């Protein structure tokens, strides 16, 4: 199986297509004016988040409304670490700080996921909403974490450099795409897809469902945490707004629009979602959320298979193979 996975790099498939796209967008972002870089930067952040929620919600089918909590925890981890280290007059390299954010988010996910993943379906979705609110309110009321004002990092971290931040995000994006692909193609991937389809039957087929769900949940949290760490660097502040539920909806919709549980899906979905949302915001500054809400409802009701699912339906006629694209 591993041999097949290494072989995957040498031919045209969903993985290589995604990576080619990342390279192109990376080159454009790093060579163009900072305004363009900023635009692409926001798009790539959404992509990372869409890929990370795809690891749990797309693969195992557990709809997660509290995924943004790990983004927030990542952001706060970096901020707290920076402040604490500065108090000792000490600093560690920024990439290590970002990785720390991911690790802390994943650790929290392991602890929270253990009880919460026992719930299924709607109950899980509601519980995850609760977790996000609980963490946000705790931070709002904890003096050491800056309450509603947040934790300021001005002067403690290097100055704003969009190209450098962009590079961090490109690296994280590449990592999350690779991890998603190898998980999908591995034993774990089959286990998660089986859970997605029918958890009881998966268990009867020998799948250690709790272990795989927890693994996917923690891994998803890890990547959300990395993205959170970078956002703290970007704004030089960690504040409760990072736990804003709309960001969770954003990543969820971007993933579903592209194709849940696929490799190309979060990428395509994020690009379209981001551009349309941005264009709507400029055209209808006051009504765009209303228009957008209507589009989202239509999407979930009539287009649950996503763009990749639709493309596969078309390609099925030609190749007589399902899942031509993944």
Partner 1 sequence: MSREIILSIENVVKKFGGLYALNGINMEVEEGSIVGLIGPNGSGKTTLFNVITGFYPPEDGYIRFQGRDITRLRPYLIARAGIGRTYQVVRPFEGMTVRENVLVGGLFGRGKGDKSIKLDDWCNEALKVTDLEAKADTPSELLSFTGKRRLEIARALALRPKLLLLDEIMAGLTPTEVDESLQIIKKMRDNYGLTIIVVEHIMRAVMAVSEKIVVLSEGVKIAEGPPKKVADDPKVIDAYLGEREAS
Footprint on this chain of partner 1 (rule: CB under 8 A): 187, 190-191, 193-194, 196-198, 200-209, 321-322
- CB nearer partner 1, residue 52 or residue 209: 209
Provide the 8-state DSSP code for 56.
I
- Taking the complex as a whole, the smallest distance from the CB of residue 300 to partner 1 amounts, in Å, to 18
Rounded to a whole number of angstroms, the minimum distance from the CB of residue 94 to partner 1 is: 40
Instruction: Tell me how far CA of residue 140 lies from CA of 132, 151, 246, in angstroms.
Output: 12, 11, 18
- Our CB check for partner 1 shows the closer of 133 and 198 to be 198
DSSP class of residue 312?
A: H
Minimum gap (Å) between residue 227 Cβ and partner 1? 28
151 forms beta bridges with: 238
Q: Which is nearer to partner 1, 33 or 314 (CB)?
A: 314
Residue 142 to residue 299: CA distance in whole angstroms:
39
Q: Measuring CA to CA, how many Å separate 301 from each of 173, 246, 271, 304?
A: 29, 19, 21, 7
CA distance 280 to 275: 8
Residue with Cβ nearer partner 1 (45 or 326): 326
Q: In 10 A of CB 154, how many CB atoms?
A: 9
Question: Smallest distance, Å, CB 248 to partner 1?
Answer: 25
Q: How far is the CB of 37 from partner 1 (least distance, A)?
A: 38
**What is the smallest separation between the CB atom of 201 and partner 1, expressed in angstroms?**
5
127 Cβ neighbours under 8 A, 6+ residues apart: 66, 116, 119
Write down the H helix ranges in 186-264. 187-197, 199-204, 209-235, 245-258
Please provide residue 311's backbone torsions phi and psi, each rounded to the nearest 5 degrees: -60, -40
Helix (H, G, I), strand (E, B) or coil at 230: helix
Shortest Å distance, C-beta 47 to partner 1? 24
Q: Which is nearer to partner 1, 185 or 247 (CB)?
A: 185
Nearer to partner 1 by Cβ, of 212 and 274: the residue is 212
Whichever of 194 and 226 has its CB closer to partner 1, that residue is: 194
Contact 286, 246 (CB under 8 A): no
Q: What 3-state DSSP class applies to 269?
A: helix
């Amino acid at each position: 199986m591993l041999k097949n996975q290494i072989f995957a790099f040498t031919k045209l498939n969903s993985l290589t297509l995604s990576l080619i796209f990342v390279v192109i967008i990376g080159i454009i972002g790093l060579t163009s004016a900072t305004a363009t870089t900023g635009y692409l930067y926001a798009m790539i952040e959404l992509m990372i988040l869409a890929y990370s929620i795809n690891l749990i919600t797309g693969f195992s089918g557990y709809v997660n409304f509290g995924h943004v909590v790990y983004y927030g925890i990542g952001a706060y981890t970096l901020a707290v670490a920076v402040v604490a280290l500065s108090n000792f007059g000490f600093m560690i390299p920024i990439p290590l700080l970002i990785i720390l954010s991911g690790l802390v988010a994943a650790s929290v996910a392991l602890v929270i996921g253990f009880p919460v993943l026992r719930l299924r379906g709607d109950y899980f979705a509601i519980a995850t909403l609760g977790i996000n609110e609980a963490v946000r309110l705790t931070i709002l009321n904890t003096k050491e974490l800056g309450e509603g004002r947040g934790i300021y990092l001005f002067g403690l971290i290097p100055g704003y450099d969009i190209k450098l931040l962009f590079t961090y995000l490109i690296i994280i994006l590449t990592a999350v795409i690779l991890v998603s692909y190898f998980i999908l193609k591995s034993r774990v991937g089959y286990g998660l897809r089986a859970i997605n389809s029918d958890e009881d039957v998966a268990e009867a087929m020998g799948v250690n469902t709790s272990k795989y769900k927890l693994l996917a949940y923690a891994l998803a949290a890890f990547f959300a945490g990395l993205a959170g760490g970078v956002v703290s660097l970007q704004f030089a502040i960690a504040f409760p707004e990072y736990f804003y539920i709309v960001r969770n909806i954003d990543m969820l919709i971007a993933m579903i629009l592209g194709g849940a549980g696929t490799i190309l899906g979060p990428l395509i979905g994020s690009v379209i979602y981001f551009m349309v949302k941005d264009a709507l915001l400029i055209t209808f500054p006051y009504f765009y959320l209303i228009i957008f809400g209507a589009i989202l409802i239509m999407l979930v009701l009539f287009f649950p298979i996503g763009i990749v699912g639709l493309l596969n339906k078309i390609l099925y006629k030609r190749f007589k193979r399902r899942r031509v694209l993944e």
